[in-house]
Chains A and B, each alone.
Chain A
Amino acid sequence: MIVRILGEGQFRVDDDAAAKLTALDKDLDAAVRDDTEPAFHAALHAAVALVRTTGTPVADDEFVTADYILPFSDATVSEVRQLLADGTIPGDSIGLP
């Protein structure tokens, strides 16, 4: 599975890591829904660390889309909420290309 960490690029992770990520994703989802910053940070840091350590960076000449995209490693709940709402981050004037 391909996972992108915003700001860090794409990584290829194995099934084992993918399963762990899916579990962490549930925590992320709950934290964003309940607006609980500490829980959000804990889940995000665990997910980012997992991808960084177990994943292999996708080659420069490989053009693929990610199955999962993780927010910036230091993102906040409000930033993610805005990204989910309209694909922008606070202050983003141009949005995505």
Chain B
Amino acid sequence: MSVMKRVSLIFRAKADKALDRMEDPRETLDYSYKQQVEMLTRVRRGVADVATSRKRVELQMNSLQKEISKRDGQARDALGKGRDDLARAALQNKSQLLAQYSDLETQFANLQEQEEKLTLASQRLDAKVQSFRTRKETLKATYTAAEAQTRINEAFSGISEEMGDVGLAIQRAEDKTAQMQARAGAIDELLASGALEDHVGGGQDYIQAELDKLGASSDVDGELARMKGEIAASAPKQIEGNGSAAAGQEATAAEQQAGDGS
């Protein structure tokens, strides 16, 4: 038998089974309506959950983007200081981060798609449930055994199929979101612990420490040069035995040092 026919029979069999359990058709209507309201709550929660996951991925993308810019800056910094090895490490790191970023982009698009689908499912079910509520009251008011029974069964089966559809759609979205959440959780942890840089390769600590060291040693070189200059400038005066001038230089040097330290 055909696939489409078999799927429709599965849905119908489930509705028939539920109908068999009902003794009073009016009970069927109320029971079904209660189920519909529960299903609506569930699908709305599903939409909210997917939206939360999407926002989380968006935040991660922002964090990664910052890391990527930082690597870029480091590479330029390193090149400026003549450290091609460090620039290479920073760029390698950057390309790994870019790969992760593109993975997140895919996840983001997937979640957005799930969110749109579930939102539509929610709207469709909402409209159906509103109509069903009206229909339910009409059917109950005009209830005359056999005839009404048929119409009630039709309405019940129709709405059951709708709920089965939406139920499967929610389940599907939940499954897909759960898979992505597991991966997103891992990235969150990495970002929070600052281990992302180490995780993806060369290690931020290494590159930054090297750059800091370069920065520090150039400061030291600068200070050494300045001190040498000062000593050279004051030396002739000391030979001349000008004690007050030397004392003045010392004071100036001390002031400069205090200034550097602040």
User: Which residues of A come within 8 Å of B, CB atoms?
Assistant: 3-4, 6-10, 21-22, 25-26, 28-29, 32, 47, 60-72, 80, 83-84, 87, 89-97
Contacts and interface: CB of A to CB of B under 8 A. Distances in A.
A65 B163 CA distance: 12
Given A89-B168, A97-B35, A68 B4 contact: yes
Contacts of B10: 83-84, 87, 96
B160 interface: yes
Interface of B: 1-8, 10-15, 18, 35, 39, 117, 120-121, 124, 127-128, 130-132, 134-135, 154-165, 167-169, 171-172, 174-175
Contacts of B159: 63
Contacts of A21: 4
A32 B4 contact: no
A92 B194 CA distance: 37
A60 B157 CA distance: 14
Contact of B8 (A60, A67, A92): A67
Nearest to A33: B3
Contact of A65 (B12, B18, B135, B169): B12
B2 A87 contact: no
A94 B132 contact: no
Nearest to B36: A97
Kindly list the 10 A-B residue pairs having the minimum CB-CB distance in the complex, ordered from nearest: A63-B158, A68-B4, A96-B164, A61-B131, A60-B127, A69-B7, A25-B2, A63-B155, A69-B8, A91-B175
A89 B124 CA distance: 21
Contact of A96 (B130, B155, B168, B175): B168
